Chain A
Amino acid sequence: MKPDLSIVFANVKFKNPVLTASGTFGYGYELADLIPLEKLGGIITKTITLKPCDGNLQPRVAEVTSGILNSIGLQNIGIKSFIEEPLEKLKKLGVPVIVSIAGASVSEYVETAKILSCQNGISAIELNLSCPNLEKKIVCHDLSLVQNIIKEVKKISKIPVIAKLSPLVTDISELALAAENQGADGITLTNTYPAMAIDIKTFKSKLSTLKGGMSGACVKPMSIRCVYDAWQSISIPIIGCGGIMTGEDAVEFMLAGATAVSVGSSSLVSPINLIKIINEIEDIMIKKNILSIKNIIGMVNKNEKNNTCS
């Protein structure tokens, strides 16, 4: 029997758990010639802000062992242009669209969410609370600010709100719980890890902003730990994110507690990896005789508990 890959996340139905990670898939529709976009579980757009944003100076990306550092600086066309064109095209793809947003203040988040909330065809809003590339500090390092943003956006949003959190906090479960308490419908764990690389030829940082966010295969075990910890303390669903290169990686995240996964760096290397990951998840399910992918969510927690009891 064909295994069931469908999941429900914050009352939105996805045909499989594999989403594109914010900021790694453009506005989502440009790759129609390279991969069958309709096979994706969903698309999380790159982060949109109220006003257009030019982004940071060059260099914006540096390779590290098994991963990359980036410092794009939220380059985007702004919410107005986004609605006029990319959103119209995204709606026609036939997959759930989650729009990632960010702002320099609570009111910017709220204003952007308000505009999106009036649009048809958006399944959810993802709040980018952890982009480490803005001049101001990471939102997630200010707990009351995080709470405020989620609370205020939830007040006006007619669609589910997902909080994307930074992994670089003392206690990720505390932050996850705070998001849940303010009404978040789900969380994404994790965004990139603040990091730095220096060029020994020039004695300068490899990024124009000196520091950036690290992603790729090298961050996976740390992100899985975050998902595992958060799952213990919250009841809202989690999108697992960080270094997913294969179906096995995606399954690992789900076993740790993720209901869905988002894939970023891997699709930068090769967009077709997104489709391969979906196929590999299905292969693992057949091999392990798993009828529905929903059955494995957080299974490692349950297994560990059973072990402790016996």
Chain B
Amino acid sequence: MFGKRDFSCGNILSISYFVVRAINSLSLNTRFSKFVFLVNEKVAYIYISKRFDGNYKIISNREVRAGYFELIVKIDNITRYCSPGQFFMISVPEVFLRRPISIHYVKKDSLSFLYKVVGKGTKILSKIQSGTLQLLGPLGNGYDFKNWEQSSYTVVAGGTGIASIYYLATKLTQNGILYYGARSERDLVCLDKFKKMNWKVIISTEDGSKGYKGYITDMLLKGLNDTTLLIACGPTPMLKKVIQIAKVKCIKGFVSLEEKMACGIGNCQSCAVKINGQIRMICKDGPVFRIEEVEL
């Protein structure tokens, strides 16, 4: 979905910069989603997501399960620039920094975010029922799964990692197998949605209240078919294990990483990660990276 691998990052930045300068008077605070230019007289395309910083109306913000909330905001004309794996920085009153929250699903004129109350920021956010919220996004690079349309999908989700995995599932051309691990049965928030889509779901809980008792990666190791494309989103210890399994079995795929971040746009440099021996920013260069390139 992004042409980054075909061109150096520097080219992309310089090209986008000049195009943006040219169009600044027409559309403020936006950049092109796709534009055409010539390289050695051949037409090349570069895709760059548009990102916006604006105030959006809250449609609803309700508790879908104890401790888990779904925030839906009205967003016109932006949802078409969103792709699975991307996130928004959401302003929360009374706390200093915005909170990065991944996109749960997209409708024509609204965006949904599924989040768990884990600290002060999400607690305050969960109490807001109406009005507007300042959102910056969509940010980051999502799944570049276009070349993989023929393969089968094995998707691993841990905890709230399911939120963005669901968005991805809605965009895949065929159903896959979901390995879904959580602390306990009450943390399995999206089970119904995947069942409705007729996905095969393998479940584990740490307390054994549903499915296999233990970590989902144990189940993955047993069941993983090595011709599949592997996709994972969840806590870092889980991702470490998934990456290890992928390496041993030589399976390709993607992982969506998470780290503390202040800005979400590559400026604070908090969310650094080693990708192929190079320091990269999860917010700007990720959060989705190729599984074989990540060094956790």
Q: Which residues of A are at the interface with B, using a C-beta cutoff of 8 A?
A: 23-26, 29-36, 46, 54-55, 58-68, 70, 72, 75, 85, 89, 216-217, 265, 267-272
Contacts and interface: CB of A to CB of B under 8 A. Distances in A.
A187 B180 CA distance: 55
A152 to B, nearest CB: 28
Contacts of B29: 33-35, 272
Contacts of A46: 269
Contact of A268 (B20, B95, B267): B267
Nearest to B259: A58
B262 A55 contact: no
B262 A268 contact: yes
Interface string B252-288: 0000000111110111111110000001000000000
A75 B281 CA distance: 11
A68 B97 contact: yes
Given A66-B96, A75-B272, A32 B16 contact: yes
Given A33-B51, A36-B24, A72 B269 contact: yes
B30 interface: yes
Contact of A62 (B13, B98, B260, B269): B260
A32 B261 CA distance: 21
Nearest to B263: A268
Contacts of B121: 63
A83 to B, nearest CB: 13
Contact of B13 (A29, A36, A216): A29
Interface centre among A25, A35, A63, A272 (most CB of B within 10 A): A63
Given A216-B96, A217-B96, A60 B265 contact: no
Contacts of B261: 61
A302 B134 CA distance: 41
A29 B13 CA distance: 9
B237 interface: no
Given A67-B96, A269-B96, A61 B20 contact: no
Contacts of A265: 96, 262
B76 interface: no
A70 B270 contact: yes
B136 interface: yes
Categorize the interface residue count of chain B.
35 or more
22 contacts: A23-B269, A25-B267, A30-B13, A30-B266, A31-B267, A34-B29, A54-B272, A60-B260, A60-B271, A61-B261, A63-B262, A68-B96, A68-B97, A70-B268, A75-B269, A75-B279, A85-B10, A216-B96, A217-B96, A267-B267, A270-B53, A270-B91
B228 to A, nearest CB: 30
Contact of B270 (A36, A61, A89, A270): A61
Interface of B: 10, 13-14, 16-17, 20-21, 24, 28-31, 50-51, 53, 91, 95-98, 121, 134, 136, 259-263, 265-272, 279
B53 A268 contact: no
Contact of A24 (B24, B50, B260, B268): B268
B272 A33 contact: no
Contacts of A26: 266-267, 269
Contacts of B91: 269-270
A197 B260 CA distance: 14
Contacts of A68: 96-97, 262
A76 B270 CA distance: 12
Contacts of A29: 13, 17
A61 B96 contact: no
B7 to A, nearest CB: 14
A-B complex: 8 closest residue pairs judged by Cβ atoms: A61-B270, A33-B31, A268-B263, A60-B270, A26-B267, A59-B260, A32-B17, A268-B262
A78 to B, nearest CB: 12
A195 B50 CA distance: 37
Contact of B269 (A35, A55, A65, A269): A55
Contacts of A55: 269, 272, 279
B51 A72 contact: no
A268 B269 contact: no
A29 B12 CA distance: 12
Nearest to A66: B96
A268 B14 contact: no
- With most chain B CB atoms within 10 A of its CB, the pick from A29, A54, A63, A268 is A268
A61 B264 CA distance: 12
Contact of B97 (A31, A59, A63): A63
A272 B53 contact: yes
B260 to A, nearest CB: 5
A31 B268 CA distance: 13
B268 A268 contact: yes
